[in-house]
Structure 1
Amino acid sequence: MRIAINGMGRIGRLLFRRLLGEQDVELVAVNDIMPSDNLVYLLKYDSLYGPNPAPLFLEGNAIVSGDKRIMVFQEDHPAKLNWKELGVDVVLECSGRFHQAAGAKEHLQAGAKAVLLSTTGSADIPLMIYGFNQHQLTKETQVVSPGGCMTNCCTHIIYLLQSIGIESIHFNILHSYTSRQELVDTAHKQFRRGRAAAESIIPVEIDLASSLERLFPLKDRIAALSIRVPVTNGAMTDVTVTLKTETSAAEINNLFRHAATGPYKGILDYTEEQLVSADIKGNTHSLVIDGSLTSVAGRQVKLIAWFDNEYGYTSRMIDWLRYWQKIR
Protein backbone atom coordinates (compact mmCIF):
# COMPACT_ATOMS: atom_id res chain seq x y z
CA MET A 1 0.00 0.00 0.00
CA ARG A 2 1.44 3.34 -1.10
CA ILE A 3 0.70 6.26 1.23
CA ALA A 4 0.92 10.05 0.93
CA ILE A 5 0.40 12.62 3.70
CA ASN A 6 -1.15 16.02 3.06
CA GLY A 7 -0.43 18.46 5.89
CA MET A 8 2.60 18.03 8.13
CA GLY A 9 1.39 19.36 11.46
CA ARG A 10 1.53 17.38 14.72
CA ILE A 11 -0.43 14.38 13.40
CA GLY A 12 1.14 14.39 9.94
CA ARG A 13 4.68 14.44 11.31
CA LEU A 14 4.02 11.71 13.87
CA LEU A 15 2.49 9.55 11.15
CA PHE A 16 5.58 10.16 9.01
CA ARG A 17 7.85 8.95 11.81
CA ARG A 18 5.76 5.90 12.53
CA LEU A 19 5.14 4.88 8.92
CA LEU A 20 8.88 4.81 8.29
CA GLY A 21 8.97 1.75 10.53
CA GLU A 22 6.00 -0.04 8.96
CA GLN A 23 6.79 -3.01 6.73
CA ASP A 24 3.49 -3.49 4.89
CA VAL A 25 2.92 0.14 3.84
CA GLU A 26 5.18 2.49 1.90
CA LEU A 27 5.23 6.23 2.51
CA VAL A 28 5.94 7.74 -0.90
CA ALA A 29 5.17 11.47 -0.59
CA VAL A 30 4.23 14.36 1.69
CA ASN A 31 2.80 17.78 0.93
CA ASP A 32 2.99 20.94 3.05
CA ILE A 33 3.51 24.58 2.22
CA MET A 34 6.28 25.03 4.83
CA PRO A 35 9.90 25.22 3.56
CA SER A 36 11.28 21.72 3.08
CA ASP A 37 14.36 22.30 5.24
CA ASN A 38 12.10 23.41 8.11
CA LEU A 39 9.99 20.28 7.63
CA VAL A 40 13.02 18.00 7.83
CA TYR A 41 14.15 19.77 11.00
CA LEU A 42 10.73 19.24 12.63
CA LEU A 43 10.76 15.59 11.60
CA LYS A 44 14.22 15.06 13.09
CA TYR A 45 13.55 16.81 16.41
CA ASP A 46 10.34 16.67 18.41
CA SER A 47 9.83 18.32 21.79
CA LEU A 48 7.47 15.55 22.97
CA TYR A 49 8.81 12.33 21.48
CA GLY A 50 12.48 13.19 21.12
CA PRO A 51 14.85 12.91 18.14
CA ASN A 52 13.81 10.68 15.26
CA PRO A 53 15.65 7.35 15.69
CA ALA A 54 16.46 7.10 11.97
CA PRO A 55 18.70 9.65 10.19
CA LEU A 56 16.84 12.04 7.87
CA PHE A 57 18.15 14.47 5.28
CA LEU A 58 16.87 16.49 2.36
CA GLU A 59 18.13 15.55 -1.09
CA GLY A 60 16.65 17.66 -3.86
CA ASN A 61 12.88 17.37 -3.62
CA ALA A 62 12.91 14.28 -1.42
CA ILE A 63 13.46 13.30 2.21
CA VAL A 64 15.86 10.39 2.48
CA SER A 65 15.99 7.91 5.36
CA GLY A 66 18.14 4.83 4.79
CA ASP A 67 16.93 3.22 1.57
CA LYS A 68 13.64 5.13 1.68
CA ARG A 69 13.02 8.20 -0.43
CA ILE A 70 9.88 10.28 0.21
CA MET A 71 8.94 12.97 -2.30
CA VAL A 72 8.19 16.44 -0.89
CA PHE A 73 5.67 18.83 -2.44
CA GLN A 74 4.67 22.36 -1.43
CA GLU A 75 1.28 22.81 -3.06
CA ASP A 76 -1.53 24.73 -1.37
CA HIS A 77 -4.29 22.63 -2.92
CA PRO A 78 -4.77 18.88 -3.56
CA ALA A 79 -5.86 19.56 -7.14
CA LYS A 80 -2.29 20.63 -7.95
CA LEU A 81 -0.81 17.27 -6.90
CA ASN A 82 -0.25 14.25 -9.14
CA TRP A 83 -0.96 11.28 -6.92
CA LYS A 84 -1.71 9.10 -9.95
CA GLU A 85 1.88 9.32 -11.19
CA LEU A 86 3.10 8.15 -7.78
CA GLY A 87 0.56 5.32 -7.58
CA VAL A 88 -0.85 6.57 -4.27
CA ASP A 89 -3.38 4.20 -2.72
CA VAL A 90 -4.40 6.28 0.32
CA VAL A 91 -3.84 9.94 1.16
CA LEU A 92 -3.78 10.77 4.86
CA GLU A 93 -5.45 14.20 4.84
CA CYS A 94 -3.89 15.86 7.89
CA SER A 95 -4.02 19.53 6.96
CA GLY A 96 -7.36 20.16 8.67
CA ARG A 97 -8.42 22.22 5.65
CA PHE A 98 -10.07 19.61 3.42
CA HIS A 99 -12.47 17.92 5.82
CA GLN A 100 -15.56 18.31 3.61
CA ALA A 101 -16.34 15.85 0.83
CA ALA A 102 -15.66 18.29 -2.01
CA GLY A 103 -12.20 19.17 -0.71
CA ALA A 104 -11.23 15.63 0.25
CA LYS A 105 -12.27 14.31 -3.16
CA GLU A 106 -9.75 16.58 -4.85
CA HIS A 107 -7.18 13.98 -3.78
CA LEU A 108 -9.18 11.41 -5.75
CA GLN A 109 -9.26 13.73 -8.75
CA ALA A 110 -5.47 14.02 -8.41
CA GLY A 111 -5.21 10.24 -8.77
CA ALA A 112 -5.35 8.80 -5.24
CA LYS A 113 -7.60 5.78 -4.72
CA ALA A 114 -8.81 6.71 -1.22
CA VAL A 115 -8.60 9.41 1.47
CA LEU A 116 -8.44 9.00 5.25
CA LEU A 117 -9.00 12.21 7.20
CA SER A 118 -7.26 12.95 10.50
CA THR A 119 -10.34 14.57 12.00
CA THR A 120 -14.11 14.33 12.22
CA GLY A 121 -15.24 15.31 8.76
CA SER A 122 -18.43 16.97 7.64
CA ALA A 123 -21.74 15.10 7.62
CA ASP A 124 -21.29 14.14 3.95
CA ILE A 125 -18.27 11.93 4.84
CA PRO A 126 -18.80 8.53 6.53
CA LEU A 127 -17.79 8.61 10.20
CA MET A 128 -16.22 5.28 11.14
CA ILE A 129 -14.51 4.64 14.46
CA TYR A 130 -11.98 1.83 14.47
CA GLY A 131 -13.09 -0.88 16.86
CA PHE A 132 -16.73 0.21 16.63
CA ASN A 133 -18.03 0.39 13.06
CA GLN A 134 -15.04 -0.08 10.75
CA HIS A 135 -16.87 -3.08 9.28
CA GLN A 136 -19.04 -0.57 7.36
CA LEU A 137 -16.05 0.11 5.10
CA THR A 138 -16.49 -1.37 1.63
CA LYS A 139 -14.27 -1.62 -1.41
CA GLU A 140 -16.30 1.22 -2.91
CA THR A 141 -15.71 3.63 0.02
CA GLN A 142 -13.26 6.32 -1.06
CA VAL A 143 -13.28 8.89 1.76
CA VAL A 144 -13.46 8.07 5.47
CA SER A 145 -13.41 10.12 8.66
CA PRO A 146 -11.97 8.08 11.55
CA GLY A 147 -13.17 10.70 14.04
CA GLY A 148 -10.83 12.65 16.31
CA CYS A 149 -8.92 11.54 19.38
CA MET A 150 -11.79 12.54 21.68
CA THR A 151 -14.40 10.79 19.53
CA ASN A 152 -12.32 7.60 19.52
CA CYS A 153 -12.15 7.68 23.31
CA CYS A 154 -15.81 8.47 23.97
CA THR A 155 -17.39 6.19 21.36
CA HIS A 156 -16.19 3.06 23.10
CA ILE A 157 -17.34 4.32 26.51
CA ILE A 158 -20.86 4.93 25.22
CA TYR A 159 -21.03 1.61 23.41
CA LEU A 160 -20.03 -0.40 26.47
CA LEU A 161 -22.25 1.52 28.90
CA GLN A 162 -25.24 0.97 26.60
CA SER A 163 -25.27 -2.62 27.84
CA ILE A 164 -26.55 -1.17 31.14
CA GLY A 165 -28.59 1.64 29.61
CA ILE A 166 -27.80 5.37 29.29
CA GLU A 167 -30.21 8.17 30.17
CA SER A 168 -27.70 10.98 29.67
CA ILE A 169 -23.96 11.38 29.48
CA HIS A 170 -21.57 14.33 29.83
CA PHE A 171 -17.95 14.28 28.71
CA ASN A 172 -15.46 16.78 30.13
CA ILE A 173 -12.16 16.40 28.26
CA LEU A 174 -9.15 17.80 30.13
CA HIS A 175 -6.82 18.16 27.16
CA SER A 176 -3.29 19.42 26.58
CA TYR A 177 -3.11 22.68 24.67
CA THR A 178 -2.90 22.53 20.86
CA SER A 179 -1.78 24.59 17.87
CA ARG A 180 -5.32 25.97 17.58
CA GLN A 181 -4.63 28.05 20.69
CA GLU A 182 -2.29 30.98 21.16
CA LEU A 183 1.05 31.29 22.95
CA VAL A 184 0.32 34.84 24.15
CA ASP A 185 -2.97 36.74 24.45
CA THR A 186 -4.28 37.84 21.06
CA ALA A 187 -7.49 38.26 19.08
CA HIS A 188 -9.46 35.12 18.23
CA LYS A 189 -13.06 34.55 17.12
CA GLN A 190 -13.41 32.22 20.10
CA PHE A 191 -12.18 34.66 22.74
CA ARG A 192 -10.86 32.02 25.14
CA ARG A 193 -8.76 30.34 22.43
CA GLY A 194 -6.94 33.65 22.09
CA ARG A 195 -5.63 33.52 25.66
CA ALA A 196 -2.11 32.32 26.47
CA ALA A 197 -2.36 28.51 26.43
CA ALA A 198 0.44 27.83 28.92
CA GLU A 199 -0.86 30.27 31.52
CA SER A 200 -4.49 29.27 32.13
CA ILE A 201 -7.04 26.48 32.33
CA ILE A 202 -9.10 27.33 29.26
CA PRO A 203 -12.60 26.02 28.35
CA VAL A 204 -13.04 25.66 24.57
CA GLU A 205 -15.97 24.84 22.32
CA ILE A 206 -15.92 21.41 20.63
CA ASP A 207 -18.28 19.50 18.32
CA LEU A 208 -17.86 16.17 20.12
CA ALA A 209 -21.51 15.79 21.13
CA SER A 210 -22.80 16.26 17.58
CA SER A 211 -20.22 13.76 16.30
CA LEU A 212 -21.31 11.15 18.84
CA GLU A 213 -24.97 11.74 17.97
CA ARG A 214 -24.10 10.62 14.43
CA LEU A 215 -23.11 7.25 15.89
CA PHE A 216 -25.67 6.68 18.66
CA PRO A 217 -29.45 7.27 19.04
CA LEU A 218 -28.91 9.61 21.99
CA LYS A 219 -29.88 12.98 20.53
CA ASP A 220 -29.96 15.75 23.16
CA ARG A 221 -28.70 13.30 25.77
CA ILE A 222 -24.97 13.82 25.13
CA ALA A 223 -23.06 16.92 26.23
CA ALA A 224 -19.35 17.68 25.95
CA LEU A 225 -16.83 20.34 26.91
CA SER A 226 -13.07 20.49 26.52
CA ILE A 227 -10.89 22.13 29.15
CA ARG A 228 -7.39 22.91 27.85
CA VAL A 229 -4.74 22.64 30.56
CA PRO A 230 -1.12 23.87 30.52
CA VAL A 231 0.58 20.59 29.55
CA THR A 232 2.01 19.68 26.14
CA ASN A 233 0.65 16.15 25.82
CA GLY A 234 -2.06 13.83 27.07
CA ALA A 235 -5.72 14.05 27.97
CA MET A 236 -8.14 12.84 30.62
CA THR A 237 -11.81 12.24 29.91
CA ASP A 238 -14.02 12.90 32.93
CA VAL A 239 -17.35 11.15 32.28
CA THR A 240 -20.55 11.72 34.23
CA VAL A 241 -23.31 9.35 33.12
CA THR A 242 -26.79 8.74 34.44
CA LEU A 243 -27.75 5.12 33.82
CA LYS A 244 -31.22 3.62 33.57
CA THR A 245 -30.59 1.27 36.49
CA GLU A 246 -28.49 1.42 39.63
CA THR A 247 -25.05 -0.13 39.44
CA SER A 248 -21.80 -0.38 41.40
CA ALA A 249 -18.19 0.66 40.79
CA ALA A 250 -17.25 -3.01 40.71
CA GLU A 251 -19.77 -3.74 37.93
CA ILE A 252 -18.56 -0.79 35.87
CA ASN A 253 -14.90 -1.73 36.32
CA ASN A 254 -15.57 -5.37 35.45
CA LEU A 255 -17.30 -4.27 32.24
CA PHE A 256 -14.27 -2.31 31.06
CA ARG A 257 -11.71 -4.80 32.43
CA HIS A 258 -13.32 -7.57 30.40
CA ALA A 259 -13.43 -5.40 27.27
CA ALA A 260 -9.72 -4.58 27.60
CA THR A 261 -8.70 -8.25 27.64
CA GLY A 262 -11.29 -9.37 25.10
CA PRO A 263 -12.92 -7.71 22.11
CA TYR A 264 -11.31 -4.30 22.70
CA LYS A 265 -7.76 -5.51 23.28
CA GLY A 266 -5.32 -3.05 21.71
CA ILE A 267 -7.93 -0.28 21.53
CA LEU A 268 -9.04 0.04 25.16
CA ASP A 269 -6.92 -0.64 28.23
CA TYR A 270 -7.76 -0.83 31.92
CA THR A 271 -5.62 0.06 34.92
CA GLU A 272 -5.86 0.71 38.63
CA GLU A 273 -2.36 2.20 38.84
CA GLN A 274 -1.99 5.74 40.24
CA LEU A 275 -1.46 7.41 36.86
CA VAL A 276 -0.94 11.06 35.93
CA SER A 277 -1.03 12.51 32.42
CA ALA A 278 2.75 12.18 31.87
CA ASP A 279 2.41 8.41 32.23
CA ILE A 280 0.20 8.15 29.17
CA LYS A 281 2.69 9.64 26.67
CA GLY A 282 3.33 7.19 23.86
CA ASN A 283 0.40 4.94 24.80
CA THR A 284 -1.15 3.34 21.72
CA HIS A 285 -4.69 2.83 23.08
CA SER A 286 -7.65 5.06 22.25
CA LEU A 287 -8.43 5.13 25.97
CA VAL A 288 -7.17 3.74 29.26
CA ILE A 289 -9.92 3.37 31.88
CA ASP A 290 -8.64 4.30 35.36
CA GLY A 291 -10.61 1.94 37.59
CA SER A 292 -9.12 3.47 40.73
CA LEU A 293 -11.20 6.60 40.08
CA THR A 294 -14.56 5.01 39.25
CA SER A 295 -17.32 6.09 41.61
CA VAL A 296 -21.09 5.58 41.77
CA ALA A 297 -23.94 7.48 43.45
CA GLY A 298 -27.22 5.72 42.77
CA ARG A 299 -27.67 5.72 38.98
CA GLN A 300 -24.94 8.32 38.44
CA VAL A 301 -21.47 7.07 37.51
CA LYS A 302 -18.17 8.97 37.40
CA LEU A 303 -15.64 7.37 35.05
CA ILE A 304 -12.12 8.50 34.15
CA ALA A 305 -10.21 7.60 30.96
CA TRP A 306 -6.71 8.65 29.87
CA PHE A 307 -5.36 8.91 26.31
CA ASP A 308 -2.40 10.27 24.39
CA ASN A 309 -4.14 12.60 21.97
CA GLU A 310 -1.40 12.18 19.35
CA TYR A 311 0.12 8.72 19.72
CA GLY A 312 -3.11 6.88 20.50
CA TYR A 313 -4.89 8.56 17.61
CA THR A 314 -2.17 7.88 15.03
CA SER A 315 -2.22 4.25 16.20
CA ARG A 316 -5.84 4.02 15.05
CA MET A 317 -5.03 5.67 11.72
CA ILE A 318 -2.36 3.02 11.12
CA ASP A 319 -4.91 0.35 12.10
CA TRP A 320 -7.19 1.84 9.45
CA LEU A 321 -4.51 1.50 6.78
CA ARG A 322 -3.99 -2.17 7.62
CA TYR A 323 -7.75 -2.78 7.62
CA TRP A 324 -8.22 -0.97 4.32
CA GLN A 325 -5.42 -3.03 2.82
CA LYS A 326 -7.04 -6.25 4.05
CA ILE A 327 -10.44 -5.69 2.41
CA ARG A 328 -9.13 -4.39 -0.94
Structure 2
Amino acid sequence: FLNQTTGSAPKAQTVAKLKVAINGFGRIGRNFLRCWHGRKDSPLDVILVNDSGGVKNASHLLKYDSMLGTFKADVKIVDNETISVDGKHIKVVSSRDPLKLPWVELGIDIVIEGTGVFVDGPGAGKHIQDGASKVIITAPAKGADIPTYVVGVNEQDYSHEVANIIRSAQSVVFYLCFSKNFTNDFFIIHAHMLIVCERSVTTICFVGLKSR
Protein backbone atom coordinates (compact mmCIF):
# COMPACT_ATOMS: atom_id res chain seq x y z
CA PHE A 1 0.00 0.00 0.00
CA LEU A 2 2.64 2.51 1.04
CA ASN A 3 5.13 1.44 -1.61
CA GLN A 4 2.59 2.00 -4.37
CA THR A 5 1.58 5.33 -2.87
CA THR A 6 5.06 6.72 -2.49
CA GLY A 7 6.71 5.05 -5.45
CA SER A 8 10.48 5.18 -5.83
CA ALA A 9 12.82 8.05 -6.59
CA PRO A 10 16.53 8.57 -7.24
CA LYS A 11 18.65 8.92 -4.11
CA ALA A 12 19.43 12.55 -4.89
CA GLN A 13 15.74 13.42 -5.09
CA THR A 14 13.80 14.36 -1.95
CA VAL A 15 10.39 12.71 -1.75
CA ALA A 16 7.70 14.47 0.28
CA LYS A 17 6.33 12.28 3.06
CA LEU A 18 2.69 11.27 3.10
CA LYS A 19 0.64 13.27 5.60
CA VAL A 20 -1.18 10.99 8.03
CA ALA A 21 -3.99 11.68 10.49
CA ILE A 22 -5.09 9.26 13.20
CA ASN A 23 -8.84 9.31 13.80
CA GLY A 24 -9.40 7.73 17.20
CA PHE A 25 -6.49 7.67 19.63
CA GLY A 26 -7.28 4.46 21.48
CA ARG A 27 -4.85 1.57 21.85
CA ILE A 28 -4.48 0.94 18.11
CA GLY A 29 -4.11 4.63 17.31
CA ARG A 30 -1.46 5.09 19.99
CA ASN A 31 0.36 1.91 18.97
CA PHE A 32 0.42 3.13 15.38
CA LEU A 33 2.06 6.37 16.48
CA ARG A 34 4.60 4.46 18.59
CA CYS A 35 5.51 2.21 15.66
CA TRP A 36 5.76 5.17 13.29
CA HIS A 37 7.98 7.08 15.72
CA GLY A 38 10.40 4.15 15.84
CA ARG A 39 10.96 4.19 12.08
CA LYS A 40 13.13 7.16 11.17
CA ASP A 41 13.04 6.23 7.47
CA SER A 42 9.24 6.01 7.39
CA PRO A 43 7.56 7.54 4.31
CA LEU A 44 4.82 8.79 6.63
CA ASP A 45 4.45 12.00 8.61
CA VAL A 46 1.85 11.92 11.40
CA ILE A 47 0.61 15.47 11.74
CA LEU A 48 -2.77 15.18 13.47
CA VAL A 49 -4.64 13.12 16.04
CA ASN A 50 -8.39 13.29 16.57
CA ASP A 51 -9.12 12.38 20.19
CA SER A 52 -12.21 13.29 22.20
CA GLY A 53 -10.11 13.58 25.36
CA GLY A 54 -7.98 16.45 24.07
CA VAL A 55 -4.26 17.04 24.53
CA LYS A 56 -4.11 16.05 28.21
CA ASN A 57 -5.66 12.64 27.62
CA ALA A 58 -3.74 12.02 24.39
CA SER A 59 -0.34 12.89 25.83
CA HIS A 60 -0.76 10.92 29.07
CA LEU A 61 -2.03 7.71 27.47
CA LEU A 62 0.62 7.89 24.75
CA LYS A 63 3.36 8.22 27.36
CA TYR A 64 2.06 5.62 29.81
CA ASP A 65 0.61 2.39 28.43
CA SER A 66 -0.59 -0.45 30.66
CA MET A 67 0.56 -3.07 28.13
CA LEU A 68 3.60 -1.54 26.42
CA GLY A 69 4.92 0.38 29.39
CA THR A 70 6.35 3.89 29.38
CA PHE A 71 7.02 5.37 25.95
CA LYS A 72 10.71 6.30 25.75
CA ALA A 73 9.96 9.37 23.65
CA ASP A 74 9.69 12.80 25.25
CA VAL A 75 5.95 13.55 25.15
CA LYS A 76 4.84 17.05 26.11
CA ILE A 77 1.81 19.30 25.85
CA VAL A 78 2.69 22.35 23.75
CA ASP A 79 -0.65 24.15 23.89
CA ASN A 80 -4.38 23.37 23.93
CA GLU A 81 -4.21 21.96 20.40
CA THR A 82 -0.71 20.50 20.15
CA ILE A 83 1.47 17.80 21.68
CA SER A 84 5.10 17.11 20.87
CA VAL A 85 6.86 13.75 20.55
CA ASP A 86 10.62 14.20 20.75
CA GLY A 87 10.13 17.74 19.48
CA LYS A 88 7.82 16.72 16.63
CA HIS A 89 4.60 18.76 16.90
CA ILE A 90 1.34 16.89 16.36
CA LYS A 91 -1.98 18.73 16.22
CA VAL A 92 -4.79 17.39 18.41
CA VAL A 93 -8.45 18.03 17.57
CA SER A 94 -11.67 16.71 19.10
CA SER A 95 -14.55 16.06 16.72
CA ARG A 96 -16.89 13.10 16.38
CA ASP A 97 -17.90 14.08 12.85
CA PRO A 98 -15.40 13.12 10.10
CA LEU A 99 -16.91 15.75 7.82
CA LYS A 100 -15.77 18.47 10.22
CA LEU A 101 -12.10 17.44 10.34
CA PRO A 102 -9.43 19.57 8.59
CA TRP A 103 -8.32 17.03 5.99
CA VAL A 104 -8.39 19.49 3.07
CA GLU A 105 -6.77 22.27 5.07
CA LEU A 106 -3.88 20.05 6.16
CA GLY A 107 -3.60 18.11 2.92
CA ILE A 108 -4.09 14.71 4.56
CA ASP A 109 -3.12 11.75 2.38
CA ILE A 110 -4.00 8.84 4.68
CA VAL A 111 -6.44 8.56 7.58
CA ILE A 112 -5.91 5.76 10.08
CA GLU A 113 -9.51 5.08 11.10
CA GLY A 114 -9.20 3.74 14.64
CA THR A 115 -12.47 4.69 16.31
CA GLY A 116 -14.18 1.39 15.58
CA VAL A 117 -17.22 3.41 14.52
CA PHE A 118 -16.72 4.28 10.85
CA VAL A 119 -16.13 0.75 9.61
CA ASP A 120 -18.26 0.59 6.45
CA GLY A 121 -18.07 2.30 3.09
CA PRO A 122 -20.42 5.20 3.88
CA GLY A 123 -18.82 5.82 7.28
CA ALA A 124 -15.16 5.61 6.30
CA GLY A 125 -16.06 7.32 3.04
CA LYS A 126 -16.73 10.53 4.97
CA HIS A 127 -12.97 10.95 5.29
CA ILE A 128 -12.71 10.77 1.50
CA GLN A 129 -15.54 13.29 1.14
CA ASP A 130 -13.70 15.56 3.54
CA GLY A 131 -10.54 15.53 1.44
CA ALA A 132 -8.41 12.55 2.49
CA SER A 133 -7.00 10.36 -0.28
CA LYS A 134 -6.96 6.98 1.47
CA VAL A 135 -8.47 5.40 4.59
CA ILE A 136 -7.13 2.39 6.49
CA ILE A 137 -9.71 0.85 8.84
CA THR A 138 -8.20 -0.80 11.91
CA ALA A 139 -11.36 -2.57 13.07
CA PRO A 140 -13.49 -5.32 11.52
CA ALA A 141 -14.98 -3.68 8.43
CA LYS A 142 -18.50 -4.17 7.12
CA GLY A 143 -19.19 -4.72 3.45
CA ALA A 144 -17.68 -6.85 0.72
CA ASP A 145 -16.53 -3.71 -1.09
CA ILE A 146 -13.75 -3.07 1.45
CA PRO A 147 -10.76 -5.35 0.76
CA THR A 148 -8.62 -6.80 3.54
CA TYR A 149 -4.83 -7.07 3.29
CA VAL A 150 -2.59 -9.20 5.49
CA VAL A 151 1.12 -8.42 5.32
CA GLY A 152 2.97 -11.60 4.44
CA VAL A 153 -0.10 -13.13 2.83
CA ASN A 154 -1.72 -10.93 0.20
CA GLU A 155 -0.36 -7.37 0.45
CA GLN A 156 1.06 -7.74 -3.06
CA ASP A 157 -2.52 -7.86 -4.38
CA TYR A 158 -3.16 -4.26 -3.38
CA SER A 159 -3.71 -1.86 -6.26
CA HIS A 160 -3.51 1.88 -5.69
CA GLU A 161 -6.16 2.47 -8.35
CA VAL A 162 -8.73 -0.04 -7.08
CA ALA A 163 -9.49 0.90 -3.47
CA ASN A 164 -9.39 4.14 -1.50
CA ILE A 165 -10.67 2.41 1.64
CA ILE A 166 -9.01 -0.77 2.88
CA ARG A 167 -9.01 -2.85 6.03
CA SER A 168 -5.84 -3.83 7.81
CA ALA A 169 -5.57 -7.25 9.44
CA GLN A 170 -5.92 -6.05 12.99
CA SER A 171 -7.93 -8.87 14.54
CA VAL A 172 -6.61 -12.05 16.14
CA VAL A 173 -8.69 -14.08 13.68
CA PHE A 174 -6.23 -13.12 10.94
CA TYR A 175 -3.44 -15.13 12.52
CA LEU A 176 -5.01 -18.12 10.82
CA CYS A 177 -4.19 -16.51 7.46
CA PHE A 178 -0.50 -17.11 8.05
CA SER A 179 -1.11 -20.86 7.78
CA LYS A 180 -1.34 -20.20 4.05
CA ASN A 181 2.43 -19.77 4.01
CA PHE A 182 2.93 -23.10 5.78
CA THR A 183 0.97 -25.00 3.15
CA ASN A 184 3.57 -24.09 0.54
CA ASP A 185 5.99 -26.53 2.18
CA PHE A 186 3.86 -28.69 4.46
CA PHE A 187 0.59 -30.59 4.32
CA ILE A 188 -1.39 -29.77 7.45
CA ILE A 189 -3.47 -32.62 8.86
CA HIS A 190 -4.28 -31.09 12.23
CA ALA A 191 -3.26 -27.83 13.86
CA HIS A 192 -3.86 -25.89 17.05
CA MET A 193 -3.23 -22.20 17.59
CA LEU A 194 -3.21 -20.40 20.93
CA ILE A 195 -3.54 -16.62 20.93
CA VAL A 196 -3.04 -14.48 24.02
CA CYS A 197 -4.18 -10.86 23.91
CA GLU A 198 -5.16 -8.19 26.39
CA ARG A 199 -8.75 -7.65 27.42
CA SER A 200 -10.39 -4.68 25.71
CA VAL A 201 -13.33 -2.62 26.94
CA THR A 202 -15.69 -4.68 24.75
CA THR A 203 -14.34 -8.10 25.76
CA ILE A 204 -16.44 -10.20 28.12
CA CYS A 205 -14.50 -11.63 31.06
CA PHE A 206 -15.86 -15.18 31.46
CA VAL A 207 -14.42 -15.54 34.95
CA GLY A 208 -16.61 -12.70 36.11
CA LEU A 209 -19.91 -13.89 34.61
CA LYS A 210 -22.68 -14.13 37.20
CA SER A 211 -24.16 -17.18 35.48
CA ARG A 212 -21.05 -19.36 35.95
TM-score bracket, shorter-length normalisation: 0.7 to 0.9
User: Among 112, 122, 127, which residue is 2:148 paired with?
Assistant: 127
Which residue is 2:11 aligned to?
none
Matches within 5 A, 1:87-126: 87-122=107-142, 123-126=144-147
C-alpha distance in 1 between matches for 2:67 and 2:156? 34
The residue that corresponds to 2:157 in the other structure is: 136
Counterpart position of 2:32:
15
Report if aligned partners of 1:91, 1:112 keep a CA contact under 8 Å in 2. yes
1:90–1:136 CA distance, 2 compared to 1 (3 A):
same
Cα distance 1:81–1:177, how it changes in 2: closer, same or farther (>3 A)? same
Counterpart position of 2:4: none
CA distance in structure 1 between the aligned counterparts of 2:193 and 2:70, rounded to whole angstroms: 34
Instruction: Please list the CA deviations of residues 44-93 of structure 1 after superposition, one character each: whole Å capped at 9, or x if unmatched.
Output: 11122222212111222111123311110100021111212112111111
The one-letter amino acid of 1:133's match is: N
Distance 1:84 1:108 in 2: 10
User: Which ranges of structure 2 fall in alignment gaps of 5 or more residues?
Assistant: 1-17
Structure 2 counterpart of 1:177:
199
Corresponding residue for residue 39 of structure 1:
58
Match among 1, 17, 20 for residue 3 of structure 1: 20
Question: What residue number does 1:152 align with?
Answer: 174
Residue 46 of structure 2: aligned partner: 27
Letter of the 1:144 partner, please give it: I
Supply the RMSD in Å over aligned alpha carbons.
Answer: 2.4
Q: Which runs of 5+ in 1 are unaligned?
A: 182-192, 203-328
SS at structure 1 position matched to 2:207: coil
Q: Percent identity?
A: 30
Give secondary structure in 1 for the equivalent of 2:49: strand
- TM-score, normalised to structure 1, is 0.52
**d(CA) in 1 for partners of 2:67 and 2:192?**
30
Contact 1:3 1:26 in 2 (8 A): yes
Sort the Cα spacing of 1:175 and 1:40 in 2 relative to 1 into closer, same or farther, 3 A.
closer
Q: Alpha-carbon deviation of 1:35?
A: 3.3
- The answer as to whether partners of 1:120 and 1:127 remain within 8 angstroms in 2 is no
> How many Å apart are 1:165 and its aligned residue?
5.6
> Over residues 78-133 of structure 1, what are the superposed CA-to-partner deviations in whole Å (9 max), with x where a residue is unaligned?
11112121121111111111110111111111111101111231222111111111
1:165-244 map, 5 Å: 173-181=195-203, 193=204, 197=205, 200=207
Q: Which one has the largest radius of gyration?
A: 1
Shift of 1:143: 0.9
Q: Higher relative contact order by CA 8 Å / sep ≥ 6: 1 or 2? A: 2
